[in-house]
């Protein structure tokens, strides 16, 4: 076997990790050190050199994007289809296992997955049913409690209230919530993992089977694993006295990039791994191939403020590059305008738009940038935020399909029972709900039973709804998937309902619904699992809520939250909104742990940049309709000044880069420069004497300039046409 292609192009540390002997392995891989390369090459190495069957390899990631990338890279390296390999997210793999073993876990075959949105809805409903005040029992708190317990592998039954009445109530709610989910055959995200864990734990045969099967478990972003995910790994890779000598985990992680503590991730798993697998081989990847020296130095200095790091010395042999640039904006509009002007420069110099990324702490910040990009006619693409399958109209359509597929799905029932309105009001639903609760049955069953005792009018409306669902069910049985979707959105009246909605909004919704049909048409179910296509499609919709939007192929500026930027790299990066309270976020400021996580997030952001990094913050920012004034982020101060260059066009006039209000800079430059006026220009005025142009606004006859006159206290705005300024 010629192993050179597998190892060529790798540095010593990478090569050592890829070709490591078959033993538990931990790779500490700094940002931009070739982590994904090592993982994919290791898989190829196992298959081609160690002659390991692709069947016995399980590769787990956290995001669909990472899983997809790994799969395609491995495919192109091995030149064979990667189907026998199991590659996926934790949730995707758990789902697959549950579809295979639904009987053993007491799930109905048609079980459905609910996303966080559905979960919150379910909890609200539960609180209402128990007459609990939402002000006292915040649904989000309850949800957080339940998910945190599940992430730790705990069921309501094994929790103690510790004499705390609040906790006691939370535990009760957890139990009631779970009962409700079980009854309607619904699992939430955390439940997917917990179920599989319990399946393996309680079922020795199955455990032995999967231990034998998956001897090689590769895990990406190991620092982000939570308790249950780690417990999973241990169950899969522990030795089985009779059947298996123990699996060979290959974990890759970076403690400095641990940014998911809030969803239960435990960096300590990196330490625990070394204790649990004695003789673990440790490799460190410390050479960074991504960023310039300045960017890397800034990032290193920043992260050095964290305590308890495993310690890494990230270095590069590349050039120093440009300094990191810092821009202080007046407000968020100004911040966006600045970014747009830099983008224009980049593009004018022949750069590609998709080489540029605008990163922000929270998705809400994207709007200002979107508006600015839109008016500047620069194509862009927003990742995250509201995704396709999370749109209300799409969830409505999916709810019809889910209810048709699985009548016990109460959440879907409630969602669409009166959408479009069909005369089934709150009072009717209360009756049905009461009945369902009293008889512990599904809303569907309760509705059937209630018709008789309801008034004639309400009863017939309800009956019509039940009949509609049954009818749809019959009608679509034999149809191919996309026609099922198409038929349901038409025959349910959903499409007509949204068509009536006036304005662009309704139009967009109709478009989205049609897009759903297209998505169904293009959907290719996993060949291996023998689910009905509809079930598979529904699960796909929840698990991969649809990253790709239209125009994905067009060269466009990339916008995303810092969290979703992890694992990516861009030549030009804007790290925006660096204000205390926004980033670091207000809710993380109070405890040291939270602050350190924010700092790691900032570290992740800075290390995305390859050639040029801009940091920006606004002195004034409008948040939920109110003006806020925040101090610059403490993270800016933590980067030594020698790596940072401040861009202050209004004061530091030597850099005429700033053009206000998003006016086309080329035109403006021509316009004003024709009169010999540009930013930073010294001018003389008949009355006010000499001064410096610090701002230009408008064009042609409307052009105004702001001039800082020496004699005059403050800067003055002058109409260019009347001021008769002479360049000096």
Catalytic residues, by residue number, are 35-36, 220-221, 257, 608
Alpha helices, H only, 554-633: 562-565, 592-606
Q: What angle do CA 340, 346, 350 make, to 5 degrees?
A: 140
Asked if 588 is part of the footprint of DNA (rule: CB under 7 A), the reply reads: yes
Contacts of 552 (CB under 8 A, 6+ apart): 381
Q: Which of 22, 138, 467, 651 binds DNA (CB under 7 A)?
A: 138
- Shortest distance, position 294 Cβ to DNA, whole Å: 27
Write each residue from 641 to 680 as x if it is in contact with DNA (CB under 7 A), else as -, in one continuous string.
Answer: ----------------------------------------
- Which residues pair with residue 356 across a beta bridge? 572
Q: Provide the 3-class DSSP secondary structure of residue 327.
A: strand
Q: What does the alpha-carbon distance between residue 359 and residue 330 come to, in Å, rounded to a whole number?
A: 19
Q: Is 30 annotated as a binding residue?
A: yes
In the region spanning residues 612 to 631, those forming contacts with DNA, defined by CB under 7 A, are 622-625
- Shortest distance, position 175 Cβ to DNA, whole Å: 20
Q: Which is nearer to DNA, 435 or 658 (CB)?
A: 435
Q: Is 33 annotated as a binding residue?
A: yes
Q: Which of 418, 512, 514, 699 binds DNA (CB under 7 A)?
A: 418
Contacts of 340 (CB under 8 A, 6+ apart): 372, 373, 376, 378, 662
Q: What does the alpha-carbon distance between residue 19 and residue 211 come to, in Å, rounded to a whole number?
A: 23
Q: Which is nearer to DNA, 297 or 492 (CB)?
A: 492
Distance of CA 673 to the CA centre of its chain: 45
Q: What does the alpha-carbon distance between residue 582 and residue 328 come to, in Å, rounded to a whole number?
A: 15
- Shortest distance, position 617 Cβ to DNA, whole Å: 17
- φ, ψ for residue 560 (rounded to 5)? -165, 165
Asked if 124 is part of the footprint of DNA (rule: CB under 7 A), the reply reads: yes
Write each residue from 101 to 120 as x if it is in contact with DNA (CB under 7 A), else as -, in one continuous string.
Answer: --------------xx----
Asked if 62 is part of the footprint of DNA (rule: CB under 7 A), the reply reads: yes
In the region spanning residues 310 to 329, those forming contacts with DNA, defined by CB under 7 A, are none
Type and span of the H or E element at 175: helix 165-184
Asked if 567 is part of the footprint of DNA (rule: CB under 7 A), the reply reads: no
Stretch that binds DNA, among 30-38, 539-547, 573-581, 628-636 (CB under 7 A): 539-547
Asked if 587 is part of the footprint of DNA (rule: CB under 7 A), the reply reads: yes
DSSP 585: B
Strands, E, within 208-305: which ranges?
216-219, 248-253, 281-285
- Shortest distance, position 583 Cβ to DNA, whole Å: 9
* Contact indicator for 404, 488 with CB cutoff of 8 Å: yes
Percent helix, strand, coil in the chain (nearest 5)?
Answer: 50, 15, 35
- φ, ψ for residue 558 (rounded to 5)? -100, 130
Task: Extract the tokens encoding 184.
Answer: 């309607």
Q: How many residues does the chain have?
A: 728
Q: Is 291 annotated as a binding residue?
A: no
Compute how many other C-beta atoms are within 10 angstroms of the C-beta atom of residue 293: 16
Task: Extract the tokens encoding 472.
Answer: 């749809």
Q: Which is nearer to DNA, 544 or 695 (CB)?
A: 544
Q: If we measure between CA atoms, which residue out of 175, 276, 186 comes closest to residue 225?
A: 276
For residue 314, is the peptide bond before it cis, meaning its omega torsion is within 30 degrees of 0?
no
DSSP of 395-439:
HHHHHHHHHHH-TT-HHHHHHHTTSS--S--HHHHHHHHHHHHHT
Write each residue from 7 to 46 as x if it is in contact with DNA (CB under 7 A), else as -, in one continuous string.
Answer: ----------------------------------------
Q: Is 32 annotated as a binding residue?
A: yes
Q: Which of 209, 213, 422, 716 binds DNA (CB under 7 A)?
A: 422
Q: If we measure between CA atoms, which residue out of 184, 244, 251 comes closest to residue 224?
A: 251
- Which residues pair with residue 362 across a beta bridge? none
Task: Extract the tokens encoding 44.
Answer: 């190829």
Write each residue from 156 to 195 as x if it is in contact with DNA (CB under 7 A), else as -, in one continuous string.
Answer: ---------------------------------xx-----
Q: Which of 166, 421, 518, 549 binds DNA (CB under 7 A)?
A: 421
Angle between helix 426-438 and helix 456-476 axes, rounded to 10 deg: 70
Q: Which of 84, 245, 425, 680 binds DNA (CB under 7 A)?
A: 425
- Shortest distance, position 629 Cβ to DNA, whole Å: 17
- φ, ψ for residue 438 (rounded to 5)? -65, -35
Unique residue bearing structure tokens 């982020």: 633
- Shortest distance, position 353 Cβ to DNA, whole Å: 21
- Shortest distance, position 579 Cβ to DNA, whole Å: 13
Write each residue from 478 to 497 as x if it is in contact with DNA (CB under 7 A), else as -, in one continuous string.
Answer: --------------------
DSSP of 232-251:
HHHHHHS-BTTTBS--EEEE
Task: Extract the tokens encoding 596.
Answer: 């350190």
In the region spanning residues 247 to 266, those forming contacts with DNA, defined by CB under 7 A, are 261-263
Stretch that binds DNA, among 85-93, 476-484, 648-656, 717-725 (CB under 7 A): 85-93
Contacts of 245 (CB under 8 A, 6+ apart): 239
Q: Which is nearer to DNA, 346 or 389 (CB)?
A: 389
Asked if 89 is part of the footprint of DNA (rule: CB under 7 A), the reply reads: yes
- Shortest distance, position 59 Cβ to DNA, whole Å: 14
Q: Which of 428, 442, 484, 616 binds DNA (CB under 7 A)?
A: 428
Q: Which is nearer to DNA, 140 or 172 (CB)?
A: 140
Q: Which is nearer to DNA, 141 or 286 (CB)?
A: 141
Using the CB atoms, write b or e for 508-519: b if 16+ within 10 Å: ebbebbebbbeb
In the region spanning residues 189 to 218, those forming contacts with DNA, defined by CB under 7 A, are 189-190
Asked if 585 is part of the footprint of DNA (rule: CB under 7 A), the reply reads: yes
Q: Which of 423, 532, 641, 676 binds DNA (CB under 7 A)?
A: 423
Asked if 499 is part of the footprint of DNA (rule: CB under 7 A), the reply reads: no
Q: Which of 393, 410, 597, 671 binds DNA (CB under 7 A)?
A: 597
Q: Which is nearer to DNA, 90 or 222 (CB)?
A: 90
Stretch that binds DNA, among 172-180, 472-480, 584-592, 684-692 (CB under 7 A): 584-592
Q: Which is nearer to DNA, 104 or 370 (CB)?
A: 370
- Shortest distance, position 429 Cβ to DNA, whole Å: 8
Q: Which of 10, 15, 65, 305 binds DNA (CB under 7 A)?
A: 65
- Shortest distance, position 566 Cβ to DNA, whole Å: 9
| Region label for 678, one of left (φ > 0), alpha (ψ between -120 and 50) or beta (otherwise) | beta
Asked if 384 is part of the footprint of DNA (rule: CB under 7 A), the reply reads: yes
Number of chain residues interacting with DNA (CB under 7 A): 52
Stretch that binds DNA, among 88-96, 341-349, 527-535, 699-707 (CB under 7 A): 88-96
- Which residues pair with residue 251 across a beta bridge? 26, 219
- φ, ψ for residue 273 (rounded to 5)? -55, -45
Whole-number Cα distances in Å, 51 to 48, 56, 473: 5, 11, 49
Stretch that binds DNA, among 73-81, 316-324, 332-340, 419-427 (CB under 7 A): 419-427
Question: Which stretches of the chain bind DNA, using CB under 7 A?
Answer: 62-65, 89-92, 115-116, 124, 138, 140, 147, 189-190, 261-263, 361-364, 367, 384, 392, 418, 421-428, 458, 543-545, 561, 563-564, 585-588, 594, 597, 622-625
Residues comprising the binding site? 29-36
Residues comprising the binding site for ATP? 29-36
């Amino acid at each position: 076997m010629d192993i050179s292609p597998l190892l060529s192009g790798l540095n010593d540390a990478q090569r050592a990790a890829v070709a490591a002997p078959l033993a538990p392995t931990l790779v500490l891989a700094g940002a931009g050190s070739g982590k994904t390369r090592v993982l994919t090459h290791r898989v190829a190495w196992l298959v081609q050199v160690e002659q390991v069957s692709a069947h016995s390899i399980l590769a787990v990631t956290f995001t669909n994007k990472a899983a997809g990338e790994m799969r395609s890279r491995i495919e192109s390296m091995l030149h064979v289809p990667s189907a026998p390999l199991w590659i996926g997210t934790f949730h995707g793999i758990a789902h697959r296992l549950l579809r295979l073993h639904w009987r053993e876990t007491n799930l109905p075959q048609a079980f459905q997955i609910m996303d966080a949105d559905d979960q919150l809805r379910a909890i609200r409903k539960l609180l209402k049913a128990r007459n609990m005040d939402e002000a006292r029992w915040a649904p989000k708190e309850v949800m957080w409690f339940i998910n945190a317990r599940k992430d730790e592998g705990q069921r309501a039954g094994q929790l103690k209230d510790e004499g705390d009445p609040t906790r006691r109530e939370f535990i009760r709610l957890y139990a009631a919530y779970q009962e409700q989910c079980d009854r309607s055959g619904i699992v939430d995200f955390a439940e997917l993992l917990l179920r599989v864990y319990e399946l393996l734990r309680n079922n020795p045969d199955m455990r032995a089977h999967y231990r034998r099967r998956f001897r090689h478990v590769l895990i990406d972003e190991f620092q982000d694993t939570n308790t249950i995910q780690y417990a999973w790994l241990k169950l899969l890779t522990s030795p089985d006295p009779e059947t298996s000598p123990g699996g060979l985990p290959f974990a890759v992680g970076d403690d400095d990039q641990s940014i998911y503590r809030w969803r239960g991730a435990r960096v300590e798993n990196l330490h625990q791994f070394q204790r649990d697998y004695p003789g673990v081989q440790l490799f460190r990847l410390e050479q960074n191939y991504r960023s310039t020296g300045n960017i890397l130095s800034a990032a290193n200095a920043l992260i050095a403020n964290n305590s308890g790091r495993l310690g890494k010395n990230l270095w590069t042999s590349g050039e120093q590059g440009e300094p990191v640039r810092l821009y202080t904006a007046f407000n968020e509009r100004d911040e966006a305008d600045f970014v747009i002007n830099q983008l224009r420069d980049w593009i004018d110099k022949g750069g590609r738009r998709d080489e540029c990324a605008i990163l922000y702490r929270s998705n809400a910040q994207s709007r200002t940038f979107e508006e600015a990009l839109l008016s500047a006619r620069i194509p862009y693409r927003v990742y995250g935020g509201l995704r396709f399958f999370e749109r209300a109209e799409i969830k409505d359509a999916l709810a019809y399909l889910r209810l048709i597929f699985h009548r016990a799905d109460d959440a879907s029932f409630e969602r669409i029972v009166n959408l479009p309105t069909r005369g089934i009001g709150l009072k009717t639903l209360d009756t049905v709900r009461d009945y369902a609760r009293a008889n512990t049955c599904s809303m569907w069953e309760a509705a059937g039973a209630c018709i008789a005792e309801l008034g004639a009018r309400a009863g017939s409306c309800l009956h019509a709804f039940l009949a509609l669902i049954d009818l749809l069910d019959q009608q679509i049985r034999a149809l191919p998937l996309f026609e099922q979707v198409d038929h349901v959105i038409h025959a349910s009246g959903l499409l007509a309902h949204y068509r009536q909605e006036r304005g662009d909004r309704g139009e967009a919704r109709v478009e989205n619904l049609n897009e759903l049909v297209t998505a169904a048409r293009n959907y290719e179910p996993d060949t291996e699992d023998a689910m009905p296509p509809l079930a598979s499609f529904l699960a796909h919709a929840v698990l991969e809520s649809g990253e790709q939007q239209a125009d994905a192929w067009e060269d466009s500026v990339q916008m995303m939250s810092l969290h979703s930027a992890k694992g990516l790299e861009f030549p030009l990066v804007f790290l925006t909104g660096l204000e205390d309270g926004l980033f670091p976020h207000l809710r993380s400021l109070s405890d040291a742990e939270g602050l350190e996580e924010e700092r790691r997030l900032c570290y992740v952001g800075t290390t995305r940049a390859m050639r040029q990094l801009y940091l920006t913050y606004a002195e004034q920012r409008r948040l939920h309709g109110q003006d806020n004034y925040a101090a610059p982020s403490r993270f800016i101060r933590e980067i030594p000044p020698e790596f940072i260059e401040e861009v202050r066009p209004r004061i530091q006039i030597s850099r005429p880069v700033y053009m206000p209000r998003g006016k086309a800079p080329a035109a403006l430059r021509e316009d004003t420069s024709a009169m010999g006026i540009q930013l930073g220009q010294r001018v003389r005025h008949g009355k006010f004497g000499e001064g410096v142009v610090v701002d230009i606004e408008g064009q042609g006859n409307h052009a105004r300039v702001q001039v800082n006159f020496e004699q005059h206290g403050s800067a003055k705005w002058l109409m260019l046409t009347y001021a008769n300024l002479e360049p000096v």
